[in-house]
């Protein structure tokens, strides 16, 4: 009897324990059951992971109560419209935290001081959010240029599909602001795929990331390299897959060559132009020629395709490397001239560098002005000579007495000078 009661009690306890275990989180009482905490294999390493995936959270208040030993935070699939100040609390110091994944949270705003106490975080992932960082503050746009400023050890920043749609033109300028103010001097990898970027308003958008090695710009709407890469001395991979390049400008090819040919580079530059809508025409020919001659490694060059314009008999895409360039000798020669002319590299940090075109414009003006000035001076001199010649008799008459006077004065002076030594001796 006692035995049966004991067994029943044990079964009940186990049952209750099981129910309790199901409903409380391994992270402690402050967490919903959907969050889990503990050591587990993460990227082939045993790490302490806090995982709140699809936990139905609407704010980040649980993050103040994470176990101190947390190394990886996975906080995805929730609905957090705004990250408040001090996401991790104002007194905590998660000294071991190295990876923060806050993807797919519908985040619209990150406050300037959202992230504090993140001295060791190396990777921040904010993919698939709805960020708006425009400098024009209104109820929709929120601009906090110091959002990443506490990530002093950040090495990789993932912003794939992170921004609100249709924010492209302004985006680059705002990004630059953030990069300047956040001092991400150790950042090596930057992911900006799927952000509908059409162009960069600010050419130097990436120039404040001196350690940048991998720049991922795939799945955007870029048509040319209208951002400066020569300030990125350590760049080794430039991903431009699935953009809108119809051809590649010879000046862009030159820029890539210049970067690759730097004497002090330690790594080979790799670019990927795969799956861009290149045209099978003479505008693409310089690129096609460049691929086979450059020292830059063109990844996936064998799968590059080009497309005949509509109306062409065979509208099928063709392999770019097999394109017939027989009629394009002129285009290739013109491009070769551009490729072989060294252009003065803009020096980043130079205030004039960012306004390269206006500067070139001004120097053109200056040259014209100097030329005009010289011509006018010549004419003036000619007129003066003519005047002198025409009125030479009058001048002679006017000048002769003056000469005589001067001559007399000189005579007197020399006499006086000769006298002086005698007086003193």
Ligand X SMILES: *[C@@H]1O[C@H](CO)[C@@H](O)[C@H](O)[C@H]1NC(C)=O
Nearer to ligand X, 163 or 278 (CB): 163
Stretch that binds ligand X, among 17-25, 189-197, 242-250, 414-422 (CB under 6 A): 17-25
State how far Cα 11 lies from the chain centre. 63
Residues in the chain: 425
Regarding 205 and contact with ligand X (CB under 6 A), the answer is: no
Q: Which stretch binds ligand X (CB under 6 A): 45-53, 269-277, 306-314, 323-331?
A: 45-53
Q: Single out the residue of 230, 234, 160 nearest to residue 197, CA to CA.
A: 160
- The closest of 224, 233, 210, 237 to 155, measured between CA atoms, is 210
Q: Which stretch binds ligand X (CB under 6 A): 54-62, 192-200, 360-368, 416-424?
A: 54-62
Which of residues 231 and 248 has its CB atom nearest to ligand X in the complex?
231
Told to check if 420 binds ligand X by CB under 6 A, we report no
Residues 167-186: x where in contact with ligand X by CB under 6 A, - otherwise, as a string:
--------------------
Distances (CA, A) of 204 to 154, 231, 245, 344, 348: 20, 8, 20, 16, 8
C-beta closer to ligand X: residue 144 or 288? 144
Nearer to ligand X, 229 or 331 (CB): 229
User: Among the candidate windows 58-66, 181-189, 289-297, 392-400, which touches ligand X by CB under 6 A?
Assistant: 58-66
Instruction: Say if residues 289 and 335 touch (Cβ distance below 8 Å).
Output: yes
Residue 104's closest CA among 79, 67, 85? 79
**Binding characters for ligand X, 67-96, by CB under 6 A (x = yes):** -------x----------------------
With tokens 């959907």, the residue in question is 34
Q: Are 280 and 310 in contact (CB under 8 A)?
A: no
Of 9, 16, 102, residue with least CA distance to 24: 16
Question: CA torsion sign, 104 to 107 to 112 to 113?
Answer: negative
The answer to the question of residue 19 lying near ligand X (CB under 6 A) is yes
Given the complex with ligand X, which of 108 and 191 has the nearer CB atom?
108
Q: Which of 2, 5, 23, 389 binds ligand X (CB under 6 A)?
A: 23
The three state secondary structure string of 57-99 is CCCCHHHHHCCCCCCEEECCCCCCCEECCCCCCCCCCCCCCCE
Cβ(62)–Cβ(52) under 8 Å?
Answer: yes
Q: Which residue stretch of 16-24, 246-254, 358-366, 415-423 sits at the interface with ligand X (rule: CB under 6 A)?
A: 16-24
262 touching ligand X, by CB under 6 A: yes
Q: How many residues bind ligand X (CB under 6 A)?
A: 22
**Of these, 264, 292, 309, 340, which contacts ligand X (CB under 6 A)?**
264
d(CA 228, CA 251): 12
Nearer to ligand X, 51 or 172 (CB): 51
Which candidate, 267, 202, 278, 283, places its Cα nearest to that of 240?
Answer: 278
Q: Which of 9, 140, 370, 381 binds ligand X (CB under 6 A)?
A: 140
Identify residues 363-382 at the interface with ligand X (CB under 6 A).
Answer: none
The distance from CA 271 to its chain's CA centroid, rounded to whole angstroms, is: 16
Q: Nearer to ligand X by C-beta: 60 or 182?
A: 60
53 touches ligand X by CB under 6 A: yes
Question: Of the candidates 27, 37, 57, 331, which one interacts with ligand X according to CB under 6 A?
Answer: 57
Work out which of 51, 170, 182, 274 binds ligand X, going by CB under 6 A: 51
Cβ-based nearer residue to ligand X, 108 or 242: 108
Q: Find out whether 152 and 124 touch, Cβ atoms under 8 Å.
A: no
Cα 24 to Cα 40: distance, rounded to the nearest angstrom: 19
Q: How far is the CB of 140 from ligand X (least distance, A)?
A: 5
Residue 234 burial (10 A CB sphere; 0-12, 13-18, 19+)? middle
Which of 103, 146, 148, 106 is closest to 126 using CA atoms? 103
Binding span for ligand X by CB under 6 A among 47-55, 217-225, 393-401, 405-413: 47-55
Residue 59 within binding range of ligand X, rule CB under 6 A: yes
- Report the C-alpha gap between 3 and 324 in whole angstroms: 91
Q: Does 354 bind ligand X (CB under 6 A)?
A: no
Classified as helix, coil or strand, 425 is coil
Residues that bind ligand X (CB under 6 A): 19, 22-23, 40, 42, 49, 51, 53, 57-59, 61, 74, 106, 108, 130, 132, 140, 164, 233, 262, 264
């Amino acid at each position: 009897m006692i035995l049966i009661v004991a067994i029943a009690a044990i079964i009940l306890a186990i049952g209750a324990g099981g129910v309790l275990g199901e409903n409380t989180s391994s992270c402690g009482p402050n967490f919903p059951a959907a969050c889990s905490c503990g050591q587990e294999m993460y990227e082939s390493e045993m790490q302490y992971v806090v995982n709140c995936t699809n936990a139905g959270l609407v704010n980040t208040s649980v993050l103040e109560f994470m176990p101190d030993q947390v190394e990886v935070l996975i906080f995805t699939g929730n609905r957090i419209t705004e990250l408040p100040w001090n996401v991790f609390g104002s007194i905590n110091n998660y000294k071991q935290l190295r990876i923060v994944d806050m993807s797919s949270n519908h985040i619209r705003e990150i406050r300037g001081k959202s992230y504090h106490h993140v001295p060791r975080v190396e990777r921040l992932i904010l993919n698939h959010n709805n960020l708006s960082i425009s400098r024009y503050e209104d109820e929709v746009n929120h601009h906090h240029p110091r959002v990443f400023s506490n990530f002093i050890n950040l090495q990789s920043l993932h912003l794939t599909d992170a921004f609100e749609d249709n924010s492209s033109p302004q985006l680059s300028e705002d990004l630059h602001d953030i990069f300047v103010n956040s001092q991400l001097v150790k950042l090596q990898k930057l992911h900006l795929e799927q952000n509908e970027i059409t162009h960069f308003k600010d050419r130097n958008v990436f120039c404040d990331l001196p350690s940048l090695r991998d720049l991922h710009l795939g799945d955007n709407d870029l048509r040319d390299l209208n951002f400066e890469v020569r300030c990125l001395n350590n760049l080794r991979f430039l991903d431009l897959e699935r953009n809108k390049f119809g051809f590649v400008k010879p000046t862009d090819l030159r820029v890539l060559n210049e970067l690759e040919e730097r004497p002090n580079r330690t790594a080979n530059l790799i670019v990927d132009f795969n799956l861009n809508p290149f045209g099978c025409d003479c505008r693409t020919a310089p690129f096609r020629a460049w691929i086979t001659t450059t020292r830059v490694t063109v990844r996936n060059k064998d799968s590059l395709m080009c497309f005949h314009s509509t109306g062409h008999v065979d509208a099928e895409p063709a392999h770019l490397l097999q394109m017939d360039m027989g009629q394009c000798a002129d285009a290739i020669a013109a491009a070769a001239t551009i490729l072989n002319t060294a252009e003065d590299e803009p020096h980043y940090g130079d205030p004039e560098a960012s306004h390269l075109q206006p500067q070139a414009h001004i120097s053109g003006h200056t040259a014209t002005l100097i030329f005009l000035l010289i011509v006018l001076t010549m004419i003036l001199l000619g007129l003066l000579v003519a005047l002198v010649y025409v009125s030479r008799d009058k001048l002679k008459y006017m000048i002769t007495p003056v000469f005589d006077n001067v001559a007399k004065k000189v005579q007197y002076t020399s006499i006086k000078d000769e006298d002086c030594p005698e007086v003193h001796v």
